[in-house]
Amino acid sequence: MNYTTKIANQVFHHLFINAAGVYCQTVEELEQIQNAPCAGAVITKSATAKERSGNSEPRYFENSVEHNTINSMGLPNLGIDYYLNYVLKHSLKLPTLFSIVGLSQSEIIDNLKKLQASGFSGLTELNLSCPNVSGKPQIAYDFAATREILDNVFAFYSKPLGVKLPPYFDIAHFDQIAAILNDYPLAYVNAINSVGNGLVIDPETDTVVIKPKDGFGGLGGKQIKATALANVRALRQRLHPQIKIIATGGVINGRDVYDHLLCGADLISIGSQLEIEGPTVFARLEKELEEIFADKGITDLRQVRGKLKLIA
């Protein structure tokens, strides 16, 4: 299959990317994605202005049998300069996405000004799951704050930019976020971030499985597939066609990839299952996808992308 896919100035030869946060905190991890068979691109851990060690451990829990995860990492990252050095000083064979976050609006703007002034020429991904004013929801769940940040960003930022979105659960919210995003020259959206805030209990000990936030955290893996598909589909139906979609959420096997393609995904990112299985996951997924294509006689991605069928 020819997987060639374009987003802005970047050309991808495979569909798969690591989800931000997974296998992307250090150069060693990023290089494992670069060198993984069937990886199409690599994204760096959401960077803050300064290095952060993140929350106390245990802060991640996986059920590798059920393919589910919960995390409250608290943004451990080595700081924007570390990742800028990586993308500028290493010879990267894959397209690179640079994830940016901030603990305040001004930190986001400062980080993007640094990227704007740098020689970085890949895609920038703004993680909109940023804390805003305390007592208010994350930025992406505050539509006025989302508009304000995008206004301020596009006033100066001229490199190709995408946004990472949390899941939405209400049709009115799909309508509202899409109406906002359609007002900006976005290269893409990445849907979805982890499903917050879940709670997982260890039945042996009646104890929460992660320490931060008294056990509350973002859910990932198989349990979020239907939510991820709904977000990809709802956004594809509403966004201008020039805004591409990176689908993230619930991809365990080739059929999950195929389903995201039906919903309109341009590229697919892998979080929980990459953490559980390691970077050989991309080649397995591609092989399983090709078996589905062979069964169905599909020879071109255009026969699948966005071609979800409805009941008459």
**Residues with catalytic annotation?**
130
The CA distance from 220 to 256, in Å, is 14
Q: Are 23 and 279 in contact (CB under 8 A)?
A: yes
Query: Which residues, in sequence order, are CB contacts of 97 under 8 Å at separation 6+?
Result: 17, 20, 41, 42, 43, 44, 122, 123, 124, 125, 162
The CA distance from 110 to 127, in Å, is 14
Does 218 bind ligand YRO (CB under 6 A)? Our answer is yes
Does 75 bind ligand YRO (CB under 6 A)? Our answer is yes
Does 102 bind ligand YRO (CB under 6 A)? Our answer is no
Smallest separation (angstroms) from ligand YRO to the CB of 178: 21
Kindly tell me which of 34 and 46 has the beta carbon lying closer to ligand YRO: 46
Smallest separation (angstroms) from ligand YRO to the CB of 230: 18
Site stretch for ligand YRO (CB under 6 A), options 73-81, 106-114, 147-155, 281-289: 73-81
Which pair of structure tokens corresponds to residue 282?
A: 């991309």
Kindly tell me which of 74 and 306 has the beta carbon lying closer to ligand YRO: 74
Nearest Cα neighbor of 216 from 235, 233, 234, 194 is 194
Site stretch for ligand YRO (CB under 6 A), options 122-130, 168-176, 251-259, 275-283: 122-130
Does 22 bind ligand YRO (CB under 6 A)? Our answer is no
The CA distance from 115 to 290, in Å, is 37
Smallest separation (angstroms) from ligand YRO to the CB of 54: 6
In 102-124, which positions are buried (b, 16+ CB within 10 angstroms) versus exposed (e)?
Answer: beebebbbebbebbeeeebebbb
Q: Report the site for ligand YRO in 43-72 (rule: CB under 6 A).
A: 46, 71-72
**Chain positions contacting ligand YRO, by CB under 6 A:** 21, 46, 71-75, 101, 127, 129-131, 193-194, 218
